[in-house]
Structure 1
Amino acid sequence: MISIGCVRDQLEAVELGRPSGPSDVVFFRGIDVFGVRAREVVTRMSDLTAIVADDENPASFVAPDLLLSFWRPFDGDDQPDDEQGYYFNSVLLARPGYYDGPNEV
């Protein structure tokens, strides 16, 4: 799944959802963002840039300097039966200013 968000005829963000088949892979600088467990993605991303838990959803993370965010529905790291929470379900690439809030754009 690929979706785009526009405001006033300008691209705001592009979101990639978890691929449905094994032949589709999404990499960022050699990191398989959907095939590697979320905790490992965060660890490897932290070697490249600052990455922090999202204030509104601590199971998800934002790399503000890269304008990337990684989302999963819940933190399943300690719940082996909830595999969905182990991996990110979407990654969003945003325009500069996207994370600043509506009053600062």
Structure 2
Amino acid sequence: MIIMLQPPEGVPPLLIGMSIDEARNAMALWGSPEDVFAAPGEAPRLRVRDEGLTRDIFAHIGDDGKVSAIEVWKPISSKHQGEAVRVLYDDMDIFALPAGDIIRSLRDRGIVVDESDPFYPNCPRLTLGFNREGGDDIEGELGVARFFESVLVARSGYYE
């Protein structure tokens, strides 16, 4: 299974700006969407995951009732029905390559990467964000994960 990231549009078939019902229908490709009830002050979310955590995908819903961001977590197991689960942006396998290599590759393509928070680098114009917190592969003095733990595709202006 291949999951393609297409910022700022979304993670097809799940797209930024969809209603909750449209998002549920789109996410059904990956499994059965469930409502994640938000704590006070947090936006509601939809989630699709399977028992083996080969897929764990969230649709974050904004105040307008539309999808404002999509978060894909690193597959725990790389196999889904005999096929590798890959999360791609262009030709980069986001969870198979070290985070530093992906950041360098993005910069080599002329994409601005903000690493002011080393645990949560992001590409503001591309509306792509990453999570390097936690994981079993901690490195460096700061203790960031060697590989990304999750990736977020957001609506335009999300990081501004």
* TM-score normalised by length of structure 2: 0.54
Tell me which amino acid in the other structure corresponds to 2:132: R
Find 1:38's aligned residue among 83, 99, 113: 99
Q: Which runs of 5+ in 2 are unaligned?
A: 1-55, 79-83
Residue of structure 2 equivalent to 1:29 = 90
Q: Secondary structure at the match of 1:99?
A: coil
Per-residue displacement from partner, 1:10-63 (whole Å, max 9, x unpaired)?
A: 11100000012221111111111101011111111111211121x4x3133111
> Does structure 1 residue 11 correspond to structure 2 residue 67?
yes
User: How far off its partner does 1:97 sit?
Assistant: 1.9
> Does structure 1 residue 71 correspond to structure 2 residue 126?
no
User: How far off its partner does 1:77 sit?
Assistant: 3.3
> Does structure 1 residue 87 correspond to structure 2 residue 147?
yes
Q: Return the alpha-carbon distance in structure 2 between the equivalents of residues 2 and 18 of structure 1.
A: 9
Q: Return the alpha-carbon distance in structure 2 between the equivalents of residues 69 and 61 of structure 1.
A: 6
Greater RCO (CA < 8 Å, at least 6 residues apart): 1
Residue of structure 1 equivalent to 2:12 = none
Tell me which amino acid in the other structure corresponds to 2:127: L
Q: Secondary structure at the match of 1:26?
A: strand
Equivalent pair of 2:124/2:158 in contact (CA under 8 Å) = no
Residue of structure 2 equivalent to 1:99 = 159
* TM-score normalised by length of structure 1: 0.79
Tell me which amino acid in the other structure corresponds to 1:6: I
Larger radius of gyration: 2
Tell me which amino acid in the other structure corresponds to 1:5: H
Tell me how many residue pairs correspond in the alignment: 95
Tell me which amino acid in the other structure corresponds to 1:14: I
Alpha carbon RMSD of aligned pairs, Å? 2.1
- Percent identity of the aligned residues? 26
Tell me which amino acid in the other structure corresponds to 1:40: D
